[in-house]
């Protein structure tokens, strides 16, 4: 039976939400000199939309096919992306600026890395903390 973790569901939901927001508002980061300005200097919004949509689809395909390797890959790639977002927010004002966004997105990254280890674990792993 397929075991889907709550972390996978939430991170996929956040990724899809980002994709919708970025595709529907192509100037979301543009002209922002604050914390989001770093994101604007890295790539256009639609590129981040494609990235977040791809991250969500990788996890969805892994869950649909019940493929642990694809699920782990999706979680690890998501961790890298969300830590990147966290770092952008952290250094967005030309100095270290602790803010709730940096903390929240780094939390997503940590949860993704933790779950990538737990997905598919037989004893004491994800099966005890998952949704059926």
Interval 20-58: pLDDT, tens: 999 999 888 887 777 788 898 899 999 999 999 999 999
CA pair distance 90, 5, nearest whole angstrom: 28
Q: Which has the higher per-residue pLDDT, 95 or 67?
A: 67
Q: Which residues contact 55 (CB under 8 A, 6 or more apart)?
A: 15, 74, 77, 78, 81
Architecture label for domain 4-121:
Up-down Bundle (1.20)
Do 52 and 105 touch, CB atoms closer than 8 A?
no
pTM: 0.86
Alpha-carbon dihedral of residues 21, 22, 24, 29, nearest 10 degrees? Answer: 110
Q: How far apart are CA 125 and CA 1, in angstroms?
A: 15
E-only strand ranges, 1-132: 4-5, 130-131
Going by C-alpha positions, the residue among 60, 111, 52 that lies closest to residue 85 is 52
**pLDDT tens digits, residue range 99-121?**
899 999 999 999 999 999 999 77
Q: Whole-number mean pLDDT of the chain?
A: 88
């Amino acid at each position: 039976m397929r075991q889907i973790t709550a972390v996978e569901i939430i991170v996929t939901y956040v990724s899809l939400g980002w994709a919708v927001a970025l595709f529907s508002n192509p100037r979301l980061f543009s002209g922002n000199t604050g914390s989001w300005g770093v994101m604007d200097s890295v790539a256009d919004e639609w590129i981040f939309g494609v990235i977040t949509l791809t991250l969500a689809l990788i996890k969805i395909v892994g869950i649909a096919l019940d493929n642990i390797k694809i699920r782990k890959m999706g979680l690890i790639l998501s961790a890298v992306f969300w830590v990147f977002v966290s770092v952008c927010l952290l250094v967005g004002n030309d100095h270290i600026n602790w803010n709730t966004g940096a903390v929240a997105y780094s939390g997503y990254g940590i949860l993704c890395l933790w779950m990538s280890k737990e997905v598919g674990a037989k004893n004491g792993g994800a099966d005890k903390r998952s949704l059926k």
